[in-house]
Each structure stands twice: as C-alpha cells, then as structure tokens.
Chain A
Amino acid sequence: MDLLTLLQVLDSTVRMATPLLLACLAGLFSERAGIFDIGLEGKMLAAAFLAAAIASVTGSAWIGLVAGIGASLVLAIVHGLASITFRGNQLISGVAINFFAAGITVVVAQSWFGQGGRTPQLSDGARFQSITLPFAESLSGVPLLGPIYKELISGHSILVYMAMLIVPLTWWVLYRTRFGLRLRAVGENPAAVDTAGISVVRLRYSAVLICGVLCGIAGAQLATAEPAAGFIKDMTAGRGYIALAALIFAKWRPWYALMACLLFGFLQALELRPDLITNVIGIKVQGQLLSALPYIMTVVILAGFVGKAIPPRAGGEPYVKER
C-alpha cells in the first residue's frame, strides 16, 4: 500500500470519525452529569433530516445547521423532561426517542418532498464544502509532510475542524471550570451537589442541552457536509450506538474519546475499502466483522480486560432526596 492510499484511508477515517466524535462528546456531557442517553442516534437522525431539509429549502448550509441543532434540542428537552423532571427511566426515554426519530423523519420527508423519504440533492451552496487550507497546493511538493498536509489535514468541511476543536474545549470545561467540577460531581453524587446549595435539576438540564447541541452538529455533518448531499432514510446507521461504545471505550474522558472515535472511524473507513485489507493481509475480511468490531472491543473493555471502565456512579438514576 502506498502513502497516497494510506492517506486516503486516514482522510476518510477523519471524516467518518467526526459524527462519532461529536455524538460521543455529546454523550460525555450528558452521562458525566448522570443522565444516560441512548437517544444520541435519534437526535442525530432528526438533526440530519432537518438540517438537510432546511438547507435545501433555504439554500444555506448554516441555516440548515441551526435547524438541525434545533431539532436535536427539542428531543434533548423531551429526554430531560422525562428523565430529570419526571424522574422516568432514562433508557426507555432514549429508546422512545430513537424510534420516534426513525419514523418521523421519513414520514415528514415523504410528505414534504415526495422523494421516498429523502431530501432533494443539495446544491453546493446548501452544503458544507471542503475547505482547502492555505498553501495546500504549493506545499504538496514537500516530501511526506506535503501530502499529509494536503490529503489528510486539508480538505475537510468546517464541521470537521470544529469537532476537533471541541475535544480540548470539552477537556478544559470539564477540568478547569466551575461548571465542569459541578457537572462531574452531579454525575457521581447529586446529593453532594444538592447539599452544597447547587441545583441538581439546572445542572443536569444544562448537560442535556449541551448534548443536544453537539448531536445537532453531528447530524448536520452527516447530511450536509461534503461528500454528503442530503438526508436519506436511517442515515445514522447505528452511529449513535457506536458513539456510546466509544464513550465507554474512552472511559468518559475527552481525549480518550478522540482516540476511540478515530479508531472506530478507521474501522468504518476500512469497511469502504475491502480491497485494501485483502491486499495487505492476504485474507478477505467480511465487512460485517468490521462493523461489529467496535462493539466487540467495547465488550472486551467492559469485561475489564483492558483497565476498568467505571461509569459515573449516579448515572441512570433519577435524583430523589432520600427520606
């Protein structure tokens, strides 16, 4: 395999990893605050649809992005109401959101555009285009670094770069700010937060809303960033669940989340190029095996083979002042 092919695979790794990463960080905020969220998938899907629909109607990718975030936020608020205000079961609420999003997106798309549950093909102005970073062309002659810069680092949509910047931002918020300290505390022991005079409800809603915003960006990236050109039915294809697996794999930490998502993104990128694997290792590997690998690796992690993944202690439990 030559350098260029490798770079192409890595390039698509970055692209595939981006929605995973955004969803994973979304889950990180929510779960660190003690709200389990298996509705990442549904929120991303709803966001992907509305982002593509609005972008195709208005012709602006940015308005589409805002609409996508809006759709995701609505579902996030539903999840917040169910699991914080009404102290319902967080898993059930998440599953309900996933089913709801899977159905409603197709129904609305069909009645709106009449194209069998898709949105129309987006024109170039209505989607996020790849950005060629400065000097990409002129530096391409430099050995090794040139191609890496041109093929791997340059040439992604703005959302990809945003996602990468959100990783250090998340770390900073979590470990260097008052909000982060409180957020981590409320996921471990909400009673400690409550007795310290801080509102558990408000903190958890903030976390759920941040989760909604990030899922919204993830959905918009899937549907409206090059090379995508619109929404198709079930286009998240389980990415929300892979993001959750990545979150466990990353032990609920931002930098590890980046690593986990790049790894899982790499597996997805390989899935697109089965010929490469055959070339390199000489055996034909089934695509299904590759798609199952993230889950298998997560089970291995959960079984405690590679260090222990300890979830936030108050995760999944509605906070009720004890009697």
Chain B
Amino acid sequence: MTTPAIELRGISKAFGPVQANKDISIRVMPGTIHGIIGENGAGKSTLMSILYGFYKADAGEIFINGKKTEIPDSQHAIAAGIGMVFQHFKLVENFTVLENVVLGAEDGAMLRPSLAKARSQLKQLAEEYELNVDPDAVIEEIGVGMQQRVEILKALYRQADILILDEPTGVLTPAEADQLFRILGRLKEEGKTIILITHKLREIMEITDTVSVMRRGEMTATVKTQDTSPPELAELMVGRKVLLQVDKVPAKPGAMVLEVKNLNVTDSGGVHRVKDVSFTIRAGEILGIAGVAGNGQSELLEVLGGYEFGKGEVLINGQSIDLTGRHSNGQTRRERGIAHVPEDRQREGLIMDFMAWENIAFGYHHDPKYQKNRLFMDNAAIRDDTADKMQRFDVRPPNPMLQAKSFSGGNQQKIVVAREIERNPDLLLVGQPTRGVDIGAIEFIHKQIVALRDQGKAILLVSVELDEIMSLSDRIAVMFDGKIMGERLPEKTNVKELGLLMAGVAGEAA
C-alpha cells in the first residue's frame, strides 16, 4: 500500500468554548483529488488552516509522506511542500502578479534577480498547466478568476506538491469553475495531491476521487466518490435526510406588484452600475436574478430597498415610488409594502453587538404595538414578540437576550428573515438568502420564501448560487455588467445557458 501524502491523526482544536475540530483523522493519497465537504462551521477550513500552519492544533499529529512533521507556522508548511489557496485571497492588491508570487520566496536580499527568475519560471508554469497570467498586471485590476490563478501559481512557484483549495468556486462563473477544474485535473496528472474544500455537492461529484464528510467538528465518513451519491453525502453532512430540491407547486401569478422601467444607478464613485433595467413581478411569483457578484444586482436591491438613489421609474401596485428625493428611504419603502432581506446580514441586516430583540425591532420600531406610550417603547412587548418569532422560525437558541453575533450564520439569517416576512409585505426583496448558511437552515429559509409566494406575495430573489436560483425561481433574469441579459423559465433553460448569459454572451433575444 502506498504511503499517504498527508495523514492527520487525532487533530483537535478549540476556539474558546467552541470545539472546531474533534479528534480528526484523515488520510489523503498522493496524486488524488480529495474532497472535504461539510456545512458552514463544520470545521473544514479550521482543519486545513492547521495543516497550513495558520492555526496551531491543541492535539494531534501530522504526517507528510509518512514522516511526522511539525507545522508551527506557514513557513514550515511551505517547506513541507504544502500550498494553500484561501477562500479570501491573500494577495497584496496594489502589487503586480510577479511581486505577489515572489513575496516570501525571494532568492536574496536584492529584488531584481528574484523577479527575473520568477518571470521565467511563471512562463514555464503557464505553459505546463495552462495558467496564463500577465506577470506585470496589478492584482486589483484583474478579475477574481485571474487572482485565483495567481494564488495557484504562488503555491506552484514554492514547489508545492500538495495543494489545498478552500471553497475555490464561490467567486467564479460556471465557465471559470470549469476551467479551474481542468487546471486541477492537469495538476493531478502531474502527480500533485489536491485537497478541495467545498460545500457544493456537485463539485465533489464532478472532480474528486475520494470525499471526506465533516459535521460539527467531526469527520463522519470518508468514501470513494464513485461509491456515493449527492443525497447520501447531504445526509452525512446534516445528520438527517435533506430535501435537495425545493418542493413547490406551479406559480399562480396574480396582479402586477412591481414594475421597474428603465432603471439606472450610478454609485458614489461615478460608476454606472445598473443600466436601463426593466422587469416586472406579479403577485404570487418569484423572479430570480442570477449573475456573478458585482454585476449590478446589489445596487438594484439597494435602490429598491431605499438606500441608494436611482433614475427611472419604479411602480408598486401601480403607484410610482420616489427614487431620489426626500422620500427615498427604507422607512417609506416599508410603508409601501416592501420588505428587504439584505445581501450582507452582518453589515446591512443586523447590528452584531445588539441583542436579538433589538434587531427584531429595527425598521419597525414605529409599530404601535411596540410602544408603551408616546415617549417610551415597550421593550417587554418587543421581547415577547421576538421570542414568539424565534420559536416559529426555529432560531437556536431561542433567547431574545443574546447578541446577534453569538448566533450562527444560519440563525442570524433566520432572525432577519423572520423580521421581514412576518410584516406581511407585498414585495419581498431577498439578497443571497443562504450565503454562509448551513444546509438545514437553507432548507427552512427556502420553504419560508416559497410559502410567502403561495400566499400571493411578489418576491425578488438575488443570488449568486445558480442552484438556488434554478430551484426557487418562477422566472430567471440574468444580470451582467449592469444590464439584464435575458429572461428564462427555469424549466426551459440549463446551467450552461445561464452561465453563458452570466459571462455576458447574449443568447437569442429574450
């Protein structure tokens, strides 16, 4: 039997009271692609950060190619032939590609010879692995797909034999992801060992040889990919059976709720973010907006939610709303029946240091049932209301007195969703409802959104997760570079077609 490229034995790590990794053992065979899958907070990234020397394990041993190795810091990891591509890239934004590759791997005190050597090496690597990057491009001026290649090049330049990728496809279009997988396949052919951390079942099935499943800090199973199936993996991840497909009856669209006509948005930096966008949503209908992050979807939500100005016309139930003036704010939007689950719950949806009951009152603090008299709010009433909402939305722990930051991502999101949905809005704006949310909570939130639709409400869903858009939407619009590239019906399109639209390749006229 061959020696494993990596073997971890009994790794444990705690952050304060949270046990992120519990007695984890894993073997990764050389020349394979090994997937590690698990929900958010299952401890995947922590485990890999320990392997890369970014965190120190409380207990356990690491063996590289059969040899016991201490990895107290990243330098030792690099020396042991391990390279890591983090979820959030570790690049110096105003440096060139070349400088980023060289940083930390210089040959001597002078820079020039190192840069010259790296330049020729990069050329060689580019040919070998189809990793073409302009060495003189500045990081902040190239796209995320390119930046990711720079991270891979950094690892290869340091002669890494073992490459760890943490959620590499989160920021990529489907086409870019395919390209990444081709590169990974190439690296595998060259004998490199690859560890792929992800929460996307599709990626695991598509590219890995072996897959390990983590749940709540523990390794629950390691299986050959060909011997397993997505439902089985999902069950292993969550610990119970999960519905991967959202159950919903066909939509029964009613009266027109939202009409957007020729909407334009220019941000504070003068960049034209939303370009002549028009669409409609009827009661009892979910319109999904797909697109790679940063193509104007966020600004669209912000204008409709009332905290960015726009030009054009927006009608709610046939009445136009103010887009630029004194009456363009979140408060007036709520009065017109618009509720908003913002994209970034930690920055826009909640105040992390405030308690759950305070967060539940935000935006709706004028509600008469929250007032004791003209001067004072009835905090007890808000707390009772919060406890009630937490119960119904299965927020754990159901304690209104806890700070927002002490809940997990999924439970934070449930608090926001509970606040907005319970107001019985005519139109619900939802941005990235399940970003950083575990599978169990995703299932719950999706059910709530569909239930609201079935009550005859209009829903605008913005998400970068194509699977989510495909399974929830009644109609799908794709945004690219601020424009709507086209509208499709989910049952009459596929990931490939949407992916092309997301990349700006126009299909036949919509």
Contact = CB atoms under 8 A, between A and B. Distances in A.
Is B truly associated with A? yes
Interface of A: 175-182, 184-185, 188-189, 191-199, 313, 321, 323
Contact of B94 (A188, A195, A196): A188
Contact of A181 (B73, B86, B111): B111
A177 B109 contact: yes
Interface in B75-127: 75-79, 84, 86, 90-95, 99-100, 102-106, 108-112, 114
A192 B108 CA distance: 19
Contacts of B15: 323
Contact of B93 (A178, A188, A193, A194): A188
Interface of B: 15, 52, 54-55, 73-79, 84, 86, 90-95, 99-100, 102-106, 108-112, 114, 154
Contact of B84 (A175, A189, A195, A198): A195
30 contacts: A175-B111, A176-B111, A176-B112, A178-B108, A178-B109, A178-B110, A178-B111, A181-B102, A182-B104, A184-B95, A185-B92, A185-B103, A189-B92, A192-B91, A192-B92, A192-B100, A192-B103, A193-B103, A194-B74, A195-B52, A195-B54, A195-B86, A196-B74, A196-B104, A197-B73, A197-B76, A198-B103, A198-B104, A313-B94, A321-B54
Given A195-B54, A195-B86, A197-B75, A189 B110 contact: no
Contacts of A313: 93-94
In the complex, the 9 A-B pairs of residues with the closest C-beta atoms, listed nearest first: A196-B104, A197-B75, A192-B90, A178-B106, A197-B74, A195-B90, A188-B92, A185-B92, A189-B92
A192 B106 CA distance: 15
A191 B92 CA distance: 9
Contacts of B95: 184-185, 188
Nearest to A186: B92
* Max chain B C-beta neighbours (<10 A), residue from A176, A189, A191, A198: A189
A33 to B, nearest CB: 13
Main secondary structure of the interface of A (DSSP, over half): helix
A222 B154 CA distance: 47
B152 to A, nearest CB: 14
Contact of A189 (B76, B91, B109): B91
B122 to A, nearest CB: 16
Nearest to A310: B94
A195 B74 contact: yes
Contacts of B104: 182, 193, 196-198
B59 to A, nearest CB: 19
A191 B90 contact: yes
A194 B54 contact: yes
